[in-house]
């Protein structure tokens, strides 16, 4: 876990039940879910294997160890998990070095949260080396802390990443709004007891108790997040 703006961790959202906003990265703030799949397809093609497009829904949003392990088992490719993890990170870094498109509404939402001094954390299953590269585009000043998938004992879909973020900010997980795009991330946030806003990227996700589904981040602002907390506690 890396703290980038420590002072924000002591602040709360005055006049609201909302104490903090915890944001996923890939597919939520940056349009990179397709990048990961493209890298996977390219690597396995080099190993003589073709990935079934239906597997994309299996590997999206999960920790790299799970996604990579699944693909190795499904294809029978002659590569170790450590070797594949290295190649995946390298391939992804090359792609984000060329272009890193933000999701619609991401820049506006981050700016609004910062302007109102809402404690905000970036919580990703991606490794630290990837998060730090992406932060140069998102703006590290927008986040009080960042939690990477290789910095917690268990990453998504376990609650550990979101519980770690809430503890780092000194807030109650039940009074945190999480923004996610995959079922894996939603499971982690809900297991942590957070209120969840879902902007589905690859697979559709149904609304549920303490889970609101929207079409894009352009529908999400501070008033929206505060309203969810007060209406659905």
Cα-flanking dihedrals φ and ψ of residue 69, to 5°?
-60, -40
Question: What is the pLDDT, as a whole number, of residue 122?
Answer: 98
Question: What is the pLDDT, as a whole number, of residue 93?
Answer: 87
Cα-flanking dihedrals φ and ψ of residue 200, to 5°?
-55, 135
Neighbours of 44 (CB within 10 A): 20
CB 11 within 8 A of CB 117: yes
> Distance between CA 58 and CA 118 in Å, rounded?
34
Active-site residue among 24, 53, 160, 181? 24
Question: What is the pLDDT, as a whole number, of residue 61?
Answer: 66
CB 45 within 8 A of CB 71: no
> Distance between CA 3 and CA 18 in Å, rounded?
20
> Distance between CA 189 and CA 48 in Å, rounded?
37
Question: What is the pLDDT, as a whole number, of residue 1?
Answer: 81
The reported pTM is 0.81
Strands (E), the chain: 2-3, 20-23, 120-123, 145-147, 176-180, 195-198, 211-213
CA dihedral over 53, 91, 3, 14, signed as positive or negative: negative
Neighbours of 5 (CB within 10 A): 16
> Distance between CA 42 and CA 50 in Å, rounded?
9
Question: What is the pLDDT, as a whole number, of residue 6?
Answer: 41
Residue 24 annotated among the catalytic residues of the structure: yes
Burial class from Cβ neighbours inside 10 Å (0-12, 13-18, 19+) for residue 76 reads exposed
Give which of 19, 24, 21 is closest to 205, Cα–Cα. 24
Give which of 167, 159, 189, 160 is closest to 177, Cα–Cα. 189
Question: What is the pLDDT, as a whole number, of residue 4?
Answer: 54
Burial class from Cβ neighbours inside 10 Å (0-12, 13-18, 19+) for residue 86 reads exposed
| pLDDT-flagged residues of the chain (< 50) | 5-15, 233
Neighbours of 83 (CB within 10 A): 14
Residue 78 annotated among the catalytic residues of the structure: no
Question: What is the pLDDT, as a whole number, of residue 231?
Answer: 60
> Distance between CA 60 and CA 6 in Å, rounded?
31
């Amino acid at each position: 876990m890396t703290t980038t703006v420590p002072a924000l961790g002591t602040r709360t959202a005055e006049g609201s039940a909302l104490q903090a906003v915890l944001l996923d990265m890939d597919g939520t703030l940056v349009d990179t879910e397709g990048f990961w799949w493209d890298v996977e397809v390219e690597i396995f093609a080099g190993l003589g294997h073709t990935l079934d497009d239906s597997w994309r829904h299996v590997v999206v949003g999960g920790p790299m160890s799970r996604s990579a392990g699944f693909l190795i088992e499904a294809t029978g490719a002659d590569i170790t998990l450590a070797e594949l993890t290295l190649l995946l990170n390298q391939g992804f870094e090359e792609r984000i070095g060329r272009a890193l498109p933000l999701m619609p509404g991401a820049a506006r939402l981050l700016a609004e949260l910062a302007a109102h001094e809402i404690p905000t954390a970036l919580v990703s299953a991606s490794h630290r080396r990837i998060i730090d590269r992406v932060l140069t585009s998102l703006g590290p000043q927008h986040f009080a802390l960042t939690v990477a998938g290789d910095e917690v004992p268990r990453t998504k879909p376990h609650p550990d990443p979101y519980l770690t973020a809430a503890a780092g900010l000194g807030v109650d997980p039940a009074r945190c709004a999480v923004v996610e795009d995959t079922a894996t991330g939603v499971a982690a946030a809900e297991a942590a007891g957070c209120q969840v806003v879902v902007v589905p990227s690859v697979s559709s996700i149904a609304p549920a108790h303490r889970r609101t589904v929207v079409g894009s981040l352009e529908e999400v602002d501070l008033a929206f997040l505060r309203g969810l907390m007060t209406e659905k506690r």
